[in-house]
Chains A and B, each alone.
Chain A
Amino acid sequence: MHEEQPASEQPALPGQKPHQDIPTVGEWIIAAVGLVLVVSTIGFLLLQALRDNAAPPHITVVPESVDRTRNAYLVTIRIMNRGEATAASSKVEGELSNGAASVETSAVTIDYVPLRSQRRAGLYFQNDPRRFKLRLRPKGYRHP
């Protein structure tokens, strides 16, 4: 295919096209790096897509620390999703109990816990959690 320079398309410009038309080695290196990045992104997603990941969210909650604040006790918690789906609006409840009797409950809702990821949150209690048995449990979630 042989082409003519369409001079009418850019009347305001001096026609200096040809001299820049041969790509340099540097250009090819940048292009190669770009290609590797794009192809590896596609490859990674393809690998993930081909795995069987129909498993629902699997939420677990663990306490991290207990702190005394001015007018309450704060239990910081970590919410982990070990499942293969993202959980939205997952509610977590913490309960302080003394033997069979429930002393106090507290709850928090986490907007999103993505699959195989974790989020941090905190629960406030009026009673000292260290003096009772603390139980943390996920109550439910919504499909995003």
Chain B
Amino acid sequence: MIFSFPTLMTQEMWELGSSMSHFRLALLLLLVLPLLMGLAYYMGFEDSFIDTGNLLHTFGSYGIGFVSAAIMLLLFAVIGPGMAVHEIVGRIALQAVPAAIGATLLHNDLGLWERHAEHAERKRQHAPYIGQVFLMVVGTIFLAISPASTIEMVLIAYQMTEWHALALIFTTLLVMHALVYAVQFRESAALSAATPFWSAFLRFTVVGYAIALLVSAYILWTFGRLENTAETESIKAVVVLGFPAALGAAAARLLL
């Protein structure tokens, strides 16, 4: 819950919960499942990706996400009697996504599975490349979902010229690469001082940024922010949201 307060207290998230497409919300809830499973795996609960223990923890986190979101929304009077059922369900379900990711992370941070913690840390450090990419996806979603709900993402895009967007892309890549270096060098087995600049840049920074753009586009689509909007404005909005998303990808090893 520590991680999901910004989203719980964002008005746009409540409104989206009420008004967004039910199909897209259902799709989001479904796609989060494999994400939570992977996260539970890398957070060290179990040694196998698909086994009873891992599934148990995955659904456990999801359950905690739903219950804690429901309790907090009740306390904030965001949901209550007199509201349509689909609205209440939508508001809780949308909040459950960041809450569930937060719940999985918190287990790890508080060392609730102390005996697993060291093992998990090693698993993450020696994760295969695809595992690193996966962690980048999680970091991206985690950092992007809250700003994505706000109208400011598209508003910023409307205010920007294409030159602003291009400058933002290069700034994002620059900051990302600095982060990739700072984080990966210290904590990961995948990069060493011998890795040439372009190799690290292509395999981590560019891939991370591509993930950030894809995830941003997906979330904006899920929230219906790209409806009937020209490609230029849509892509600018994706680039704007891509900024926090990209930082999430680059810093995934720090955040998670």
A binding-site residues for B, Cβ under 8 Å: 3, 5, 9-10, 13, 16-21, 23-24, 26-28, 30-31, 33-35, 37-38, 41-42, 44-46, 48-49, 86, 88, 111-112, 114-120, 144
Contact = CB atoms under 8 A, between A and B. Distances in A.
Interface residues of B, number: 48
Contacts of A116: 230, 232-233
Contacts of B154: 112, 114
A131 B166 CA distance: 52
A144 B210 contact: no
Contacts, number: 114
A86 B233 contact: yes
A3 B194 contact: yes
B189 A16 contact: yes
B120 to A, nearest CB: 14
B52 interface: no
Contacts of B203: 23, 27-28, 30-31
Interface of B: 122, 125-126, 129-130, 133, 151, 154-155, 158-159, 161-163, 165-166, 169, 173, 186-187, 189-195, 199, 202-203, 206-211, 213-214, 228-233, 235-236, 238-239
Given A88-B158, A144-B158, A31 B166 contact: no
B49 to A, nearest CB: 18
Max count, chain B CB within 10 A of own CB: residue among A17, A24, A88: A17
A17 B192 contact: yes
A21 B126 CA distance: 11
Given A23-B199, A26-B129, A45 B165 contact: yes
A38 B155 CA distance: 22
Nearest to A143: B159
B236 A45 contact: yes
A127 B208 CA distance: 57
Nearest to B128: A20
A20 B166 contact: no
A144 B159 contact: yes
Contacts of B211: 34
13 contacts: A13-B125, A21-B192, A26-B130, A34-B210, A37-B213, A38-B213, A41-B213, A45-B165, A49-B162, A111-B151, A114-B158, A114-B229, A115-B230
Contact of B233 (A16, A21, A33, A114): A114
